[in-house]
Amino acid sequence: MSSSSTHSSAAPSSSTPSSAVVTIDGGDLGCARLLILLRRRVAELDDGTVVHLSTRDPVAPIDLPVWCDMTGHDYLGVVAADPPTYAVRVTSTPTPTDDRRPWHRIEPERDPGA
């Protein structure tokens, strides 16, 4: 299994220009760990930043579009075949998800008196 790492075409900072493409190497990570990695990284990026996520996870072409739809990020599709690489455009207002289970939305607390 290859180790996961994050590479960016921009200098590391808390603010990445929206024209930058950020590359994340997901290696052989399975879906759960891959989404945790992606969720953490996109939280640091500006609205409009495009992420290229490479992964050999065979379920990624199914899970990534669903996760993007659930969170509000834009799934842009496949950008390379070897290794398989998928593009996601970051939104500044994603639907909140659980830190350790990013495939679960965080439901807003309901006022019991309402």
Domain membership of residue 45 (yes or no) is: yes
Domain count, the chain: 1
The pLDDT of residue 8 is above 80:
no
Q: Count of residues for the chain?
A: 114
Domain membership of residue 100 (yes or no) is: no
Phi-psi region of 15 (alpha: psi -120 to 50; beta: other; left: phi over 0): beta
Domain membership of residue 40 (yes or no) is: yes
Domain membership of residue 44 (yes or no) is: yes
28: exposed, middle or buried (Cβ count in 10 Å: 0-12, 13-18, 19+): middle
The enclosing domain of 66 has a CATH number of 3.30.110.40
Domain membership of residue 50 (yes or no) is: yes
Domain membership of residue 108 (yes or no) is: no
> 22-81: per-residue pLDDT in tens?
999 999 999 889 999 999 999 999 999 999 999 999 999 999 999 999 999 999 999 998
Name every residue whose Cβ is closer than 8 Å to that of residue 108 and which is 6 or more positions away in sequence.
none
Domain membership of residue 38 (yes or no) is: yes
Give the domain range for residue 50: 5-9+17-89
The pLDDT of residue 17 is above 70:
no
The model carries a pTM of 0.75
Domain membership of residue 109 (yes or no) is: no
Q: CA–CA distance from 68 to each of 5, 13, 22, 98, 113 (Å)?
A: 21, 24, 16, 14, 34
